[in-house]
Amino acid sequence: MLVSAFMLRETRNSASRQRRASDSPPVAAAAASPITSRDNRWIKLFRAALREGHLAEENLIGLEGPHLVEEALRAQLEIHACLLSSSGEKLLNAWPAEWQRSLRILRTTDRLFETVSATENPQGIAALIKPREWTFDDIVRGGVPLVAVLVGVQDPGNVGTAIRSAEAFHATGAIATRGTADPWSAKALRASAGSALRLPFLHGIAPAIALAQLRATGLQILATASKLNRAPNAPAPAPFEILREPCAILIGNEAAGLPPEIARSADATLEIPISAEVESLNAGVAASLLLYEAARQRAARL
């Protein structure tokens, strides 16, 4: 009986030790051998995602740097894997244990991580995530919808800036139409500072289809233009009070502005007053100013 009691107690103690071991974060566990080959499938996948943006076949996007990976964790996005260099280990150690437990951690050398990175000064941490799938209803949901529509914006930095400003100034969503730079490219994601992981947005839709869908939901379509590039026969400039109503703000190409047929199909035009010596504004700046003005106009109405 004493032997049986002793064996039962040891069995329970062993199970308890195993549970405690399983509860410890991956960082505290024995580290797996680091990946050292450039031809490793994980290294190839991270390299492609960080340099190409969205990998459609795998439905993965790459995030690089602690800020973006942390934003993905806060947004509770599905993280497929996390790649860590020797230098990046301290970043992971600073995270809450529940974050660490939720990640599939892959380790590599600093030198090999540099070949994967899309930045000049890698910080040693990257992740592959499954992007959130948004619907058209998501981007117009809200009491007074406000949607930023990017039409042919070529600079990924401008795309990211517009998405960041859209979230900052309470837009309900954004659309990057066909021909606009990929909102999930590395440069756009960095410029959005994480907003592209949270703000409802659609991309790859033909501009005419996007406008038809927006108009069908009751939104006014507002073209943007400078005095020098307003399309012939485009709607007359409207007062900024129009931004108090449900609307979609169209932001055009950095050099050419909106295509004439898109500008002419709008319900009204918005012109930002600028100095006569300046031809136009940067697309990201123009989007930010108009989204701020929309937020100001809506606050004034309350």
- Give the lowest-confidence range in 206-210, 227-231, 253-257: 227-231
Q: Residues 281, 284, 290, 296: is their CA dihedral positive or negative?
A: negative
pLDDT beyond 70 at 193 = yes
Pair (123, 201) in one structural domain: no
Could you report the per-residue pLDDT of 120-170, keeping only the tens digit for each? 889 999 999 999 999 999 999 988 999 999 999 999 999 999 999 999 999
Pair (196, 109) in one structural domain: no
User: Closest by alpha carbon to 189, among 75, 38, 93?
Assistant: 75
Name the domain boundary from 107, 130, 153.
130
- Please check whether residue 112 lies inside any domain of the structure: yes
Model pTM above 0.85: no
Could you report the per-residue pLDDT of 59-79, keeping only the tens digit for each? 999 999 999 999 999 999 999
Could you report the per-residue pLDDT of 282-302, keeping only the tens digit for each? 899 999 999 999 999 999 876
The span from the CA of 251 to the CA of 242, in Å, is 16
- Please check whether residue 268 lies inside any domain of the structure: yes
Name the domain boundary from 130, 159, 188.
130
Pair (152, 294) in one structural domain: yes
Query: Which residues span the domain enclosing 151?
Result: 136-301
Pair (124, 143) in one structural domain: no
pLDDT band at 88 (very low <50, low <70, confident <90, very high): confident
pLDDT of residue 232: 66
- Please check whether residue 102 lies inside any domain of the structure: yes
- Please check whether residue 16 lies inside any domain of the structure: no
The span from the CA of 26 to the CA of 249, in Å, is 46
Structure tokens given for 30: 């024995």
Name the domain boundary from 130, 147, 171.
130
Pair (158, 279) in one structural domain: yes
pLDDT band at 269 (very low <50, low <70, confident <90, very high): very high
- Please check whether residue 58 lies inside any domain of the structure: yes
CATH number of the domain residue 36 falls in: 3.30.1330.30
Pair (115, 161) in one structural domain: no
CATH number of the domain residue 257 falls in: 3.40.1280.10
- Please check whether residue 53 lies inside any domain of the structure: yes
Pair (124, 148) in one structural domain: no
User: Closest by alpha carbon to 176, among 146, 156, 150, 200?
Assistant: 150
Pair (144, 88) in one structural domain: no
